[in-house]
Amino acid sequence: MSWQCRLICGFLRRNFLPQTRKPIDIARVRLLTQRRIWTPRVPRGWRLREQYEVSDVPLRGEWLLCERLPAQRTFLYLHGGGYYFCSPRSQRAISFGLGKRADADVFSLEYRLAPEHPFPAALEDALAAYRRLLANGARAGSIVIGGDSAGGGLALATLIALRDAGDALPAGALLFSPWTDLAVTGASIRENDGRDPMFCGDVFARIAPLYLGAASATDPYASPLYADLRGLPPLSFFVGSTETLLDDTRRVAERARAAGVEVECEVARELPHIWPIYAPFMPEARRTLDAAAHFARRVTAAATDARGDGNPSPSQSSETSIAS
């Protein structure tokens, strides 16, 4: 573990973790996030453009667009934040890092937040955003969907809903510490309570109802862990070994693999929740974004060269562990 990672973990233990043990104050969390947010500069050769369209489903977000050459691929990125806070701006270290490394345009969706807009509002927004990309001329096989934490679970739910609706699927999905089980049944919720520098074990059980509203916690479009995962495109997971959400990744990765999906699952030793957000300061974050960009390049090339229809064939899966 790098000294930068130790510094960040120490900061999280002192400043973030204690807040997760308190009652949830939505307004305060949102305000603090807005005040304390740090965002990287727009990479040289790129430009940032906001988008807001009003139709049946409002489409709001921001584009990171390559000005040098036509982008070879497009990311649809879904931010985390428990479905009730954060924004594309708060996750720019990840979205900018992916776009720059993978020579990709990135659309970061500002989906509607709970509890004002409970499930399935966020899913409806993600589906509308993906379909708009296709309607605007992007090939399904050139798109990679990604997300972190709640956004990672939402990205996986979006794939499932697209498959069920018969839509052309993207080339693959990047999932950073995804929250896939809103029923909160993973053993790591208890086992890593006290080891996770960011979250106490019971916080997710208190957050989940904000998004679920009247829906079941095991609805597969809210909790992809409970879905039939057959027929999905390649999935690349990244999760920390001490995260309370570790089993949200391990279990869904195992089920996807058993369903014949190509799966990469990297378990990073003692790294904090969604550590790529600490790029460029943390070297582990830079390495993970490099690996994620490599995955995106590979699956979009495979979708274009082998089939060209956005639905790559399943192949051998793998699981590795990052020694940090």
What does the pLDDT read at residue 57?
64
Nearest CA among 211, 233, 231, 232 for reference residue 222: 211
Mean pLDDT of all residues belonging to the chain: 92
Q: Give the start-to-end residue ranges of the domains of the chain.
A: 3-322
Please say if the pLDDT value at position 316 is more than 80. Answer: no
Tell me which H or E stretch contains 159: helix 150-165
Bridge partners (DSSP) listed for residue 53: 59
Strand partners, 66: 46
Taken as a whole, the chain contains a residue count of 324
Could you tell me the end-to-end alpha-carbon distance of the chain, in angstroms, rounded to an integer?
Answer: 5
Cβ atoms within 10 Å of 51's Cβ, excluding its own:
15
The CATH code for residues 3-322 is 3.40.50.1820
**Cβ(267)–Cβ(321) below 8 Å:** yes
**CB 123 within 8 Å of CB 145:** no
Predicted confidence band of residue 306 (pLDDT cuts 50, 70, 90): low
Q: Answer whether 77's CB lies under 8 Å from 147's CB.
A: yes
Q: What would the pLDDT profile of 168-205 be if each residue is shown by its tens digit?
A: 999 999 999 999 999 999 999 999 999 999 999 999 99
CA 303 to chain centre: 21
Per-residue pLDDT at 59: 80
HEC per residue, 70-98: CCCEEEEEECCCCCCCCCCHHHHHHHHHH
Place of tokens 């990135």: 106
pLDDT above 80 for 320: no
Average pLDDT over residues 39-54: 87
Q: Cα separation of 119 and 129, whole Å? A: 16
Band the pLDDT of 56: cuts 50, 70, 90.
Answer: low
- Lowest mean pLDDT of 50-64, 120-134, 248-262, 291-305, name the range: 50-64
pLDDT band of residue 305 (cuts 50, 70, 90) is: confident
Residue 310 confidence class, pLDDT cut points 50, 70, 90: very low
Residue with tokens 């950073």: 176
What is the distance between the alpha carbons of residues 12 and 16, in angstroms, rounded to a whole number?
5
pLDDT per position as a tens digit, 98-154: 999 999 999 999 999 999 999 999 999 999 999 999 999 999 999 999 999 999 999
Which residues are annotated as catalytic? 149, 243, 273
pLDDT, position 221 = 98
Amino acid at 100: K
**Model confidence at 53, in pLDDT bands (50, 70, 90)?**
confident
Over the stretch 73-84, which tens digit does the pLDDT of each residue have?
Answer: 999 999 999 999
Residue with tokens 């798109």: 143
pLDDT per position as a tens digit, 226-240: 999 999 999 999 999
